[in-house]
Amino acid sequence: MNHLPQSWGRPRDDIYGAYDHSYLQSNGPNQHTQSPIVTGTSVIALKFKDGVVIAADNLASYGSLARFTDVKRLRSFADSSIVGFGGDVSDMQYLDRLLSSLDTREAYCSSGHSLNAQNLHTYLAKVFYKRRSEFSPLWNQVLVAGLDAESKPFLASADLLGTTFSAPSLATGFGAHLAQPLLRKVAPDEDAVAKLSEEEAVQAVKESMKVLFYRDARSLDKYSIAVVTKAGIRLKEDEKLENQSWAFADKIRGYGTQVN
């Protein structure tokens, strides 16, 4: 046995070989977040003539493990906007607190006007871009739903790279592949949005959430849905998918137990 204290509790060199220090480098470049840890999957949103409807399920996954099942990924801001978060949940918490402090600072000056969804989206995109430029990104893609300066429906996306874009319907994560085509069918352009009623929009989003639950293995049948209009926010955080039909499932071939 080696009597030197510095080698106590370590694998013996004569058996395991010298310790590989390359895993624990004390020199070399600083490394920040390399990948998200606890993650939320898709957020989907659709504009209609008076506002925006946005939804996300209540799951936070730890890898493929469905770790937290009552996570609120739709966060309201200033009682007038909703931010839907996909990606890292702890970064979402950080951003939520950041927005909360922004809201408090806005209240300091009693000018009477508050930040709208467009302002909020610009702010978030700048935060994302600053952090990715520091090589310490906030690992999220967010959808901001609300109203712009002219009180028209506003929907835009910002992601961990600081990329922004806007469309009549948007989806993050797996939803960008699975839900987006369905939503585009309902509202291909702004003209279609101007004709779309709230009921139709909510229906389309609920259908898309169902498809996402069918196909996305990191999703949950419990979800939150919010409708933002001039009248304010209606946020429901404990919804359950209705009228599921798994009839299509036994026709699926190619993986699992049905190899061919």
Partner 1 sequence: MTSIGTGYDLTNSVFSPDGRNFQVEYAVKAVENGGTSIGIRCKDGVVLACEKVITSKLLKAGANKRIATIDRHMGAVSSGLVPDGRHFTSRAREEAASWRKVYKSPITTADLAGRMGGYMQAYTLYSSVRPFGVTAIVAGWDSELELPVDGQVGSGPSIGSGGKAKDKKYGGPGLYMIEPSGIYWGYYGAATGKGRQTAKAEMEKLNLAEGKMSLLDGVKEAAKIIYVAHADNKDKEFELEMTWISNLEGPTKGRHQEVPKELLEDAEKLAKKALDGDDDDEEETKDENKPAEADKMEE
- Which residues are tagged catalytic? 33
- CA pair distance 85, 202, nearest whole angstrom: 19
One-letter identity of residue 20:
D
The amino acid sitting at 187 is: A
Judged by CB under 8 A, which of 73, 131, 210, 218 binds partner 1?
Answer: 73
Residue 70 in contact with partner 1, rule: CB under 8 A: yes
State yes or no: residue 110 binds partner 1 (CB under 8 A): yes
Question: Closer CB to partner 1, residue 65 or residue 249?
Answer: 65
Q: Is residue 206 involved in binding partner 1 (CB under 8 A)?
A: no
The stretch near partner 1 (CB under 8 A) out of 10-18, 70-78, 117-125, 147-155 is: 70-78
CB 208 within 8 A of CB 179: yes
Nearer to partner 1, 107 or 249 (CB): 107
Q: Which is nearer to partner 1, 69 or 203 (CB)?
A: 69
Stretch near partner 1 under the rule CB under 8 A, chosen from 90-98, 134-142, 239-247, 248-256 = 90-98
> Do residues 212 and 223 lie in contact, with contact meaning Cβ atoms separated by under 8 Å?
no
Stretch of residues binding partner 1 (CB under 8 A), selected from 86-94, 118-126, 143-151, 224-232: 86-94
Closest distance between partner 1 and the C-beta of residue 19, in Å? Answer: 39
Least separation in angstroms between CB 139 and partner 1: 15
Q: What is the Cα–Cα distance from 207 to 145, expressed in whole angstroms? A: 19
Beta-carbon neighbour count of residue 162 at 10 Å? 17
| Amino acid identity at 1 | M
Check binding of 31 to partner 1 (CB under 8 A). no
Residue 39 in tokens: 């993650």
Q: For residue 45, give the 3-state DSSP assignment.
A: strand
Among 93, 163, 197, 244, binds partner 1 (CB under 8 A): 93
Q: What's the longest Cα–Cα distance across the chain?
A: 81
Distance of closest approach, residue 177 Cβ to partner 1, in angstroms: 25
- State both tokens at 46: 């659709």
Q: What is the chain's alpha carbon radius of gyration, rounded to the nearest angstrom? A: 23
Query: Does 165 engage in binding with partner 1 (CB under 8 A)?
Result: no
On whether the CB atoms of residues 187 and 37 are closer than 8 A, the answer is: no
- Residues 229, 50 contacting (CB under 8 angstroms): yes
Binding site for partner 1 (CB under 8 A): 58, 60, 68-73, 89, 92-94, 96-97, 100-101, 103-104, 107-108, 110
